[in-house]
């Protein structure tokens, strides 16, 4: 009898498949189109909010000030901060590779 993959195995495979698809995209416009097809508007907004606070957290801006600048909830800011500290490292990798310095993203 064929063994069905465990849910965690399936999730890992799906994530790897998705990551591979993202690697095929070559421009910001292609990535935006893919994300718009893949995600709901609410999911895109949530991901955008999370990403928007990363450089501010890396600059040690206080949570309340980040909220005032971005209107992102303090709860979300705290979750992103925990992920920056204890996550897989993806935020830091992407932020480190961006051509735009974090201070340029502070306006809002």
| DSSP per residue, 6-75 | PHHHHHHHHHHHHHHHHHH--SHHHHHHHHHHHS-HHHHHHHHHHHHHHHHHHTT--HHHHHHHH---HH
Confidence tier at 103 by pLDDT (50, 70, 90): low
Distance CA 62, CA 44 (A): 24
Confidence tier at 108 by pLDDT (50, 70, 90): very low
Based on the domain organization, do 2 and 34 belong to the same domain? Answer: yes
Distance CA 28, CA 8 (A): 31
Based on the domain organization, do 16 and 46 belong to the same domain? Answer: no
Model pLDDT for residues 74-89, shown as the tens digit of each residue = 999 999 999 999 999 9
Based on the domain organization, do 28 and 45 belong to the same domain? Answer: no
Burial 19-47 (b: 16+ CB within 10 A, else e): eeeeeeeeeeeeeeeeeeeeeeeeeeeee
At 64 the pLDDT is 98
Distance CA 64, CA 70 (A): 10
Number of domains in the chain: 2
Based on the domain organization, do 61 and 84 belong to the same domain? Answer: yes
Taking residues 8-13, what's their average pLDDT? 89
pLDDT above 80 (res 3):
no
Based on the domain organization, do 34 and 62 belong to the same domain? Answer: no
At 4 the pLDDT is 62
Distance CA 99, CA 12 (A): 30
> Residue 48 belongs to what domain range?
41-108
Model pLDDT for residues 16-25, shown as the tens digit of each residue = 999 999 999 9
Model pLDDT for residues 40-85, shown as the tens digit of each residue = 999 999 999 999 999 999 999 999 999 999 999 999 999 999 999 9
């Amino acid at each position: 009898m064929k063994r069905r993959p465990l849910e965690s195995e399936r999730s890992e495979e799906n994530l790897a498949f998705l990551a591979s698809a993202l690697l095929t995209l070559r421009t910001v416009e292609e990535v935006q189109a893919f994300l718009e097809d893949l995600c709901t508007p609410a999911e895109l907004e949530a991901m955008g909010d999370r990403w928007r606070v990363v450089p501010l957290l890396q600059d040690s801006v206080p949570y309340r000030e980040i909220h005032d600048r971005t209107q992102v909830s303090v709860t979300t800011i705290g979750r992103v901060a925990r992920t920056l500290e204890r996550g897989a490292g993806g935020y830091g990798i992407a932020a480190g590779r961006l051509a735009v310095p974090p201070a340029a993203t502070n306006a809002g």
